[in-house]
Every structure is written in structure tokens, then in C-alpha cells.
Chain A
Amino acid sequence: MMAEAFESVYHVLGKDFSNAGKVSTSIKDTLKRMGISPLVVRRVAIVSYEAEMNLVMYATRGKVSLSVSRDAVTLNVDDEGPGIPDISLAMQEGYSTATPEMREMGFGAGMGLPNIRKNADEFDISSQVGRGTRLFIQVKQASAA
């Protein structure tokens, strides 16, 4: 178990499809090297990847802040983008505003945000139309199983 808290910030560019997922694989490597339980690492990587795909698909730019404490791994995802007018609708499985190009990549089926909520121990979303969207996602270290 790591002794100190760790923090790192990763930047994601909207529409940069060829690099989409790089931040999440690098977060996964970092957590793995820190000796965090593989089950926690996998859950964080999954939620991070869905969030990163959302940034690439919808936002102009955004950042993912990773912080690791003894108790939890936290991701704060913050973007500049169109925002979400109706969050409860966006949280429904299958609701999507994705374009055909996004769907062809295997995403954009309205499962991203519901998947993030499902894999997180703590989840919060807020959004301002025309400004951007923020996600707070936490996976507890003890919740591995």
C-alpha cells in the first residue's frame, strides 16, 4: 500500500479519435505500478475510458484529474463543451445524442454515463449548457471485490 497521496492531471482534446483511450491506459499503468489491487485498477480504467471517450466525442477539450489516497482512487473530469441539458435523460441506458461516426467506433450507444455510475462507488455529475460538464468518480480501495 502506498504511503502518500498521489495526484496527476491528464489533458484530452475533443475529436482526437486516434488518441482516444491513451489517458486511460496511462492511468491504468500508473495505478498498476503503485501496487493498487488489480480489481480496483480495472474498475478505475473502465470508468476513466468511458469518461475519456465522452470528452473526445462531445467536448472541445477537457481534463482528467487522478488522485489516489489510501482509501480511494478519485477521478475529477472537467470539460469545456456543449454541456448536458437534461442529466436524468443522459443517465438513462440507451439514451444517446451520438453521431453515426461515434457509433461506428463502438461507443455512443447511450451506455457511457450509466456504465460509469455502475462501476463507481461514488458518482456525481453536474453540467452547464454551453459551458461544460463535470464528473466526480470515486472507487474505494477496499471495495475491490
Chain B
Amino acid sequence: MASITSLKAITIADVRDLLGAVVLNGEDLSIKVEAVGAADLLSDVLATSKSGTLLLTGLINAQVIRTAIVADLCGVVFVRGKKPGEEILSLARESKIPVLGTPLKMFEAAGRLYMAISGNR
């Protein structure tokens, strides 16, 4: 998984603003994003992510949320305007995993967050 550690502190609320995203789950948007990664292969997320990583993904299924729980991710962003179903969102609510949805494609979403956390706006 391509991932980068935050040099500049951003929060889930910042991610929402940067990606023009809607918050699908999450009450506390002040959670710090320690790192960002983009992947559609959950085995890679499990193998390479650090705890506190925000995952950008185009996959829509319950395994994404379970991966977030297992790997201590700080949140999930579904890209390309994909809408997770109720089963996925209720699992996210139960396990307090923030979930955002953005209409952006993976490349642009990752690019915007890369610029933000590396301090090059």
C-alpha cells in the first residue's frame, strides 16, 4: 500500500474539507490522521499500514471496516462516490470507525491529502 506519514497534523474534519467529502459515520472529527494510505487490497493494508492510518479505498464491503478495526486505522474514505450500504455503516458505528465518502477518484483524493500532510499546499 502506498502510504505516507503526516508531517503536518491534519484531522478527519480537515480530510472532509480537503476532499469535499460527506461524513457517513463519526462524531469526533478532531481525531488526528497519523498517516494516509490508498489501497484496494486489504492484505496490503494489513501488512504495511501503521496504526492511526487513514485508508482511501474503492472497495465497498464489511471487510474494509473489519480491516480498520483490526489494524487500528483512524478512519476510512470511500472514493469515486461509492455509497456503502447500511450493514457496512452500522458496523462502523458499532466500532466507532469514522467513514467519509468523496466523489473524487483515488488518485486525486490521495494527491490532495499528500499535498496537505507533506506541507505543500
Interface of A is mostly: helix
Interface code A44-66, partner B: CB below 8 Å = 1, 0 otherwise?
01101110010000000000000
Contact partners of B61 in chain A: CB under 8 A: 105-106
Complex contact B47–A106 (CB within 8 A):
no
Nearest chain A CB to B101 CB, angstrom units: 17
Contact partners of A20 in chain B: CB under 8 A: 62-63, 66
Interface code B68-79, partner A: CB below 8 Å = 1, 0 otherwise?
011110000000
A91 at the interface (CB under 8 A from B): no
Complex contact B42–A107 (CB within 8 A):
yes
Which residues of A from 4 to 20 have beta carbons under 8 Å from B?
18, 20
Complex contact A106–B67 (CB within 8 A):
yes
The segment from A75-83, A111-119, A123-131 found at the interface with B is: A111-119
B31 at the interface (CB under 8 A from A): no
Given A24-B70, A28-B69, A45-B70 in contact, is the A50-B43 Cβ separation under 8 Å?
A: yes
Determine the distance from Cα of A47 to Cα of B42 in the docked complex, in whole angstroms: 13
Determine the distance from Cα of A119 to Cα of B46 in the docked complex, in whole angstroms: 10
Contact partners of A72 in chain B: CB under 8 A: none
A30 at the interface (CB under 8 A from B): no
Complex contact A111–B41 (CB within 8 A):
yes
Contact partners of B30 in chain A: CB under 8 A: none
Contact partners of B87 in chain A: CB under 8 A: 18
Contact partners of A50 in chain B: CB under 8 A: 43, 46
Given A18-B87, A21-B62, A25-B95 in contact, is the A112-B43 Cβ separation under 8 Å?
A: yes
Complex contact B59–A49 (CB within 8 A):
no
Contact partners of A42 in chain B: CB under 8 A: 51, 70-72
Determine the distance from Cα of A118 to Cα of B59 in the docked complex, in whole angstroms: 25
B40 at the interface (CB under 8 A from A): yes
In the complex, given contacts A21-B63, A21-B67, what are 19 additional A-B residue pairs having Cβ atoms less than 8 angstroms apart? A20-B63, A21-B62, A21-B66, A21-B70, A24-B66, A25-B70, A28-B70, A45-B69, A45-B70, A45-B71, A48-B70, A49-B70, A50-B43, A106-B42, A106-B43, A107-B41, A112-B43, A115-B46, A119-B47
A to B CB contacts below 8 Å, 19 in the list: A18-B87, A20-B62, A21-B62, A21-B63, A25-B69, A28-B69, A28-B70, A38-B51, A50-B43, A50-B46, A105-B63, A106-B43, A106-B57, A106-B64, A106-B67, A107-B41, A107-B63, A109-B41, A115-B43
